[in-house]
Structure 1
Amino acid sequence: MHLDAISDNGLMLKVKNGDVDKLGLLFERYNKALFGFFYRMTQNAKTSEDLVQNVFLRILKYKHTFTGEGKFTTWMYHLARNISIDHHKKQSRMGYKDDLSQWENQLPEEVSTEDKMYQQEDIRMLNAALGRLSPEKREILILSRYQGLKYKEIGALMDCSEGAVKVRIHRALSDLKDIYKKLEKNQQL
């Protein structure tokens, strides 16, 4: 059987049983997704890289807790959430706030320079609005909209019902929309 065909759970069970080399395959499969999750939370590439490494260190440290009953990604994002929460608490204690660096915008070449400017400005304002949300609201939007997790998976991560996830996402989107409108209004002044 080709290793790419082995399920995530199968690979993690091999890691759990001592075949830690298989963690490299899981890293290859998920490091970019985790980086995206952390980058959207911190807006800092270096910090995001460090946090991704921390996830895989914790996977090794807590491999014995993986049962294989649920999806590997749910278990992995549970670890990632805990690392994100720890990071946020540490930064809050230190009085430090991550820099809001520019999002790199990969736009097709056919788009006019003027359209690119407007799109980049929209992305910048959305990024700024996202950064002003509480960490909990920002996290749930990132998990659902950017990481593509299903409400059921998010519910398992956050230890709440699927309905509660829907309500939290709705509230977070509503707050994001309000913040965006305020930023847009301030920009026009």
Structure 2
Amino acid sequence: MLRVKAGDLDKMGLLFERYNRPLFAFFYHMTHKADASEDLVQNVFYRMLKYKHTFTGEGEFRSWMYYLARNVLNDSVRQSKGQHHLDINDIADTVGGGILADEGFEKQQNTDLLHQAMAGLSPEHREVLVLSRLQELKYEEIATVLNINEGTVKVRVHRALGELKKRFFTNERR
């Protein structure tokens, strides 16, 4: 990013190749809408170019990138007046035709239950779980992205995991 900041815009393609999939995964886990996620990724890279002067190189690039991504997501939600909220019915995958092996069917059910449990979490809890568990950011990086201290991140992750576990096993019994 420092090379892009210095005017070597060809390096932006390398950043896109390296980070577009993790960004897409972040947005998809937050919205569960593929088309919207693709658009949001594009918006992040646009903002990287627009705000390249704000990257100092002192911290992790990923922290800065997810900070921008979070702002893009918040702006998108604000513009659509909440239409990007997660709906459990949107998340539950349908099982295709044909007979599935018991093991495969059980795995699919557990995946569906996990998606439903994630969808039921508050955006704050869902966000810290996506960043820590799926995007594999360190707590220090998440603290930078969310502009909170590292201890608060640990508490949020712990509470989010507890809530996820509770929701998962409540859904499983239904």
Please indicate, yes or no, whether the TM-score normalized by the shorter chain is above 0.5: yes
Q: Does 1:184 align with 2:172?
A: yes
- Specify the alignment match of 1:9 in structure 2: none
Deviations 1:139-166 (A, max 9, x none): 1000000000011111111122211111
Count of residues in correspondence between the two structures: 167
Q: Does 1:24 align with 2:10?
A: no
- Specify the alignment match of 1:154 in structure 2: 142
Q: CA RMSD in A?
A: 1.8
The percentage of counterpart residues that share the same residue type is 52
Relative distance call for 1:98 and 1:67 in structure 2 (3 A) is same
Q: Does 1:83 align with 2:72?
A: yes
Q: Does 1:57 align with 2:46?
A: yes
- Specify the alignment match of 1:71 in structure 2: 60
Matches within 5 A, 1:28-177: 28-91=17-80, 93=81, 95=83, 97-98=85-86, 100-101=90-91, 113-177=101-165
Contact 2:26 2:131 in 1 (8 A): yes
Query: What are the ranges of 5 or more consecutive residues in structure 1 without an aligned counterpart?
Result: 1-11, 105-111
Query: What are the ranges of 5 or more consecutive residues in structure 2 without an aligned counterpart?
Result: 95-99
Whole-angstrom CA distance in 1 between matches of 2:84 and 2:139: 32
Relative distance call for 1:117 and 1:80 in structure 2 (3 A) is same
What letter is aligned with 2:118?
L
The range that moved more, 15-24 or 134-143, is 15-24
Whole-angstrom CA distance in 2 between matches of 1:26 and 1:136: 27
Deviations 1:58-86 (A, max 9, x none): 00110011111111111001001111222
Superposition misfits of 4+ residues, deviation over 6 angstroms: none
What letter is aligned with 2:63?
T
Relative distance call for 1:72 and 1:127 in structure 2 (3 A) is same
C-alpha deviation, 1:178, in angstroms? 1.7
Contact 2:132 2:142 in 1 (8 A): yes
Relative distance call for 1:129 and 1:28 in structure 2 (3 A) is same
C-alpha deviation, 1:23, in angstroms? 0.4
Contact 2:44 2:72 in 1 (8 A): yes
